[in-house]
Every structure is written in structure tokens, then in C-alpha cells.
Amino acid sequence: MEVTKVARLSAEQRLMAAAVELATEGPLAAVTVSKVCRRAEVSRDSFYRFASSPAEMIARHLYEDHDVAQVVPRHGEDPGVRGLVPAMQLLVEHVQRNYAIYRNARAPHFPPVIQESLLRRFRQVLAGHVQEFPEKLPPVARSPAAIDAFVDYVAFATLGAVESLVGSGSILDTQFSVGILRAAIAPSWLAYD
């Protein structure tokens, strides 16, 4: 039983590595299950045990690479250590590390599965920020429904900015990109500016 588990992990790792390699080499839309399986030397049946599409596998890789645990605010901590500005820096660094994938996925927008992996992380950071600094929300955004709408608004705006920065190649300029993302959020909501 232990050998089977190790073999499954090995096949999954090979498939993930192959999908990531292919996504860095050309358009994400051209990355097929057949190409991933050939590169990984794994059967199609094995592929479908781990993902329904190469884009789903790439989205999982991107989600795992974009770890925001270190910047999600925790009650009582110095907000200069955690929060939105450090989260913006981590986001830009994540996109830079995976620039070829994001560039190749954009046509003219990221596919929904890639968008959702980014939005899940954005929401995680924003929800943590709201929880830590509820007084910084605009007065209209105080009910749970309004908070959800506000968090989604900021998350989707961030996604749009990232897509634009990837499209222009400006995401490779860290200071410029963080500055753009920071300027798009009301200074009062950053909580410590």
C-alpha cells in the first residue's frame, strides 16, 4: 500500500512539472493532456486522477506558489509586518516568478481557472484585513453582504490590474507594480499609511 501511494505522488509530481514546463514554453491553450502525459511519461488515465485539465493543474501550481499566510493579519500584530502592502509585494513577486505562465495564459485575460486561483488568494488577504481593521471599511460596507461585495470589488480590481501589468510586461518592475496596486486602494483602507 505504501509503494502505491509513493508511486501516485511521483506520477502527480511528474505531471505537474510537465504541465508547468509546457505552460512556460507556449500558450496555455495549446497545453493538452496528451502533451503533458507524453512529457511526464504518465498515462492519460493517471492524469485524470489528479486534474480534469492542464489549466486546472497549472492553477493549482500557481495557487500553491502564491502563499500569503505570512501576510494575512493576525489580531494584535504590527500591521506593518502583515497586511495589504506586504501582500502586494508578495503578489508581484509571485507573478514575476511565474511570468512566462501568466504571459502565456493571457488571451486577452487569464482563463477562469487561473483567475479563480488568484481571486481565492486575494480574498484570503482582504478578508483577513477586514477582520483586523473593520473600522477602516467605508461606512457603507459594514454589513456582511456589503463587506463581501467590497472584498470582491477590490479582489477583481486587483486581478484586472495584474492582467494589465502582465500584458504590458510592467509586472517585471517590482516598484512600479506595487505602486500601481497600492495607488488603486484608498489610503485609509491600508490602515497604516
- pLDDT digits 0-9 by tens, 170-180: 999 999 999 99
| Beta-carbon count within 10 A of 149 CB | 13
Question: If you average pLDDT over residues 105-115, what whole number do you get?
Answer: 95
**Taking the C-alpha atoms of 12, 15, 18 and 23 in order, what is their torsion angle to the nearest 10 degrees?**
-100
Residue 143 three-state SS = coil
Over the stretch 126-172, which tens digit does the pLDDT of each residue have?
Answer: 888 888 878 877 787 778 898 898 889 889 999 999 999 999 999 99
pLDDT for 131 equals 81
| Beta-carbon count within 10 A of 167 CB | 14
Band (45; pLDDT cuts 50, 70, 90):
very high
User: Is the pLDDT reported for residue 11 higher than 60?
Assistant: yes
CA distance 162 to 169: 10
Mean residue pLDDT of the chain comes to 86
Question: If you average pLDDT over residues 61-69, what whole number do you get?
Answer: 89
Q: What is the pTM of this model?
A: 0.85
